[in-house]
């Protein structure tokens, strides 16, 4: 059966991998980022954001595919909460978790209670969840199906994030990675990563990032950072694309060694991206980050000793974040003068501990809903939105290079602050609908 794998707007690595699995099973398959089935008889819709479940265009597309008598299966990160997917989009089935072992059988045999790793609605509208499929092997697997337009794609500067390993040893309350892929690290063979890098290069890719929870956990065996494996990985990617076109984002501050830092300096663009999240030890504890503010400071200093630039991600509006906690985050940003800063309003991904906390937090105590009464009260923001807005401007003031907050920048930040608040309230509404009391 002709099949199309669709990931809206971005050709994600996961969609490409599933496309490769389907191709290698002998099916005619193509990849698309547009919501259009064309002549395909089956659609595999790979959704990577909870927002997709509330997107009218996605809902209308799934409905139209089914009205045409075609099959529509949904997979990707949203499959971690299949009842939400079934309730909002009503596809034929959800491919739950890692889909490589399931998707071909689903295409060939259709929905069945005997097929592990799927969820569907029975004739009575009740959710049926079959037993979980085993974790997919990361070795000797299909090469991704790479679209010819991949070289024009840019996701935070990279054409593609190459998956080098699955899982994360962390247990951050807001994060889906350890819940989706597990806390044990499953690393790919370096030869397979190299072959895949070459295939991407042949298709026009020039800039890549390492994807997989925490970059320096490649080759981790449960005891110590595997310096040799991380160095070899970055060296291979640098050989293929050149160091100026490789980045190794998202590294935990407690997953560093001198050797890893030196390899990042030598084989990548020379930036570290730390998920700091907060400058308050209290919030870090509540987030389950497993690190302290002191460790964060040490990691920045250590990275700079190796001549690396440091970017940081922060989360504001965590349900229990107090004004004092937020001030501590501002102070951290101020003190460290980070080279770049990325900020998010705390989004409760369904089924995470953060989602449970949000459900337990009354709206009148949740910063995402509480009206901001301070400095920006005339802008009619919520407390979380005001913190996003304030921290964005604050971070610009304390970057090593001068960033002037013009009227245009002010308006861009204001719009983004409101959008983030609105998106998080929509997700909160969704988890209240499905998991609320």
Query: Could you say which of 99, 178, 249, 317 contacts ligand SF4 (CB under 6 A)?
Result: 178
- Residue closer to ligand SF4 by CB (options 213, 243) is 213
Where helices occur in 248-406 by DSSP H, the ranges are 258-267, 281-287, 293-305, 323-336, 353-360, 383-397
CA triplet 205, 159, 180: central angle to 5 degrees?
Answer: 120
Q: Does 213 bind ligand SF4 (CB under 6 A)?
A: yes
Distance of CA 18 to the CA centre of its chain: 17
Query: Could you say which of 275, 279, 317, 350 contacts ligand SF4 (CB under 6 A)?
Result: 275
Rounded least distance, CB 177 to ligand SF4, Å: 4
Q: Does 368 bind ligand SF4 (CB under 6 A)?
A: no
Q: Does 216 bind ligand SF4 (CB under 6 A)?
A: no
Q: Return d(Cα 210, Cα 7) in angstroms, integer.
A: 20
**Tokens 């595997």 map to which residue?**
226
- Residue closer to ligand SF4 by CB (options 106, 175) is 175
Q: Does 70 bind ligand SF4 (CB under 6 A)?
A: no
| Residues across the chain | 437
- Residue closer to ligand SF4 by CB (options 255, 368) is 255
Q: Does 170 bind ligand SF4 (CB under 6 A)?
A: yes
Q: What are 186's strand-pairing partners?
A: 166
Three-class DSSP category at 277: strand
Fill in the per-residue mask, 247 to 266: x = in contact with ligand SF4 (CB under 6 A), - = not in contact: -----x--------------
Q: Return d(Cα 183, Cα 189) in angstroms, integer.
A: 19
**Tokens 């925490």 map to which residue?**
214
Fill in the per-residue mask, 343 to 362: x = in contact with ligand SF4 (CB under 6 A), - = not in contact: --------------------
Three-class DSSP category at 74: strand
Q: Does 144 bind ligand SF4 (CB under 6 A)?
A: no
- Residue closer to ligand SF4 by CB (options 179, 201) is 179
Number of Cβ within a 10 Å radius of residue 322: 13
Please give the residue ranges that form the binding site for ligand SF4 (CB under 6 A): 168, 170, 172, 175, 177-178, 213-214, 252, 275
């Amino acid at each position: 059966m002709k099949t199309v794998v669709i990931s809206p707007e971005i050709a994600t690595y996961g969609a490409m991998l599933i496309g490769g699995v389907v191709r290698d099973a002998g099916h005619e398959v193509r990849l698309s980022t547009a919501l259009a089935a064309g002549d395909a008889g089956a659609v595999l819709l790979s959704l990577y954001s909870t927002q997709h479940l509330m997107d009218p265009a996605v809902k209308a597309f799934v409905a139209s595919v089914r009205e045409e008598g075609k099959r529509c299966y949904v997979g990707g990160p949203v499959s971690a909460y299949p009842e939400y997917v079934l309730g909002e989009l009503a596809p034929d089935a959800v491919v739950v978790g890692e889909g490589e072992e399931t998707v071909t059988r689903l295409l060939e045999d259709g929905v069945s209670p005997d097929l592990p790793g799927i969820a569907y609605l029975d004739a009575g509208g009740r959710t049926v969840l079959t037993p979980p499929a085993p974790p997919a092997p990361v070795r000797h697997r299909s090469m991704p199906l790479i679209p010819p337009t991949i070289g024009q794609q840019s996701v935070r500067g990279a054409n593609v994030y190459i998956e080098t390993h699955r899982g994360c040893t962390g247990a951050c309350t807001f994060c889906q990675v350890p819940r989706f892929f597990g806390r044990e690290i499953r690393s790919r063979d370096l030869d397979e990563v190299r072959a895949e890098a070459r295939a991407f290069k042949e298709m026009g890719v020039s800039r890549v990032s390492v994807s997989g929870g925490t970059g320096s956990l490649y080759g981790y065996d449960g005891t110590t950072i595997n310096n040799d494996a991380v160095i070899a990985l970055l060296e291979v990617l640098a050989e293929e694309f050149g160091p100026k076109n490789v980045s190794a984002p998202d590294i935990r501050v407690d997953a560093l060694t001198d050797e890893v830092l030196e390899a990042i300096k030598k084989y990548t663009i020379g930036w570290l991206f730390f998920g700091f999240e907060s400058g308050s030890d209290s919030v870090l504890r509540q987030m389950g980050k497993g690190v302290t503010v002191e460790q964060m400071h040490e990691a920045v200093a250590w990275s700079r000793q190796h001549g690396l630039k440091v970017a940081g991600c922060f989360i504001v509006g965590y349900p229990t974040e107090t004004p004092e906690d937020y001030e501590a985050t501002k102070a951290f940003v101020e003190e460290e003068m980070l080279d770049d800063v990325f900020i998010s309003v705390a989004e409760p991904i369904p089924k995470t501990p953060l989602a449970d906390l949000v459900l337990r937090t009354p709206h009148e105590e949740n910063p995402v809903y509480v009206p901001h009464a301070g400095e920006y009260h005339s802008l009619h923001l919520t407390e979380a939105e005001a913190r996003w807005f304030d921290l964005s401007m604050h971070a610009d003031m304390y970057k090593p290079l001068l960033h002037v907050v013009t009227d245009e920048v002010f308006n861009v930040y204001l719009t983004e602050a409101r959008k983030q608040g609105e998106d998080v309230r929509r997700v909160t509404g969704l988890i209240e609908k499905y998991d609320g009391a």
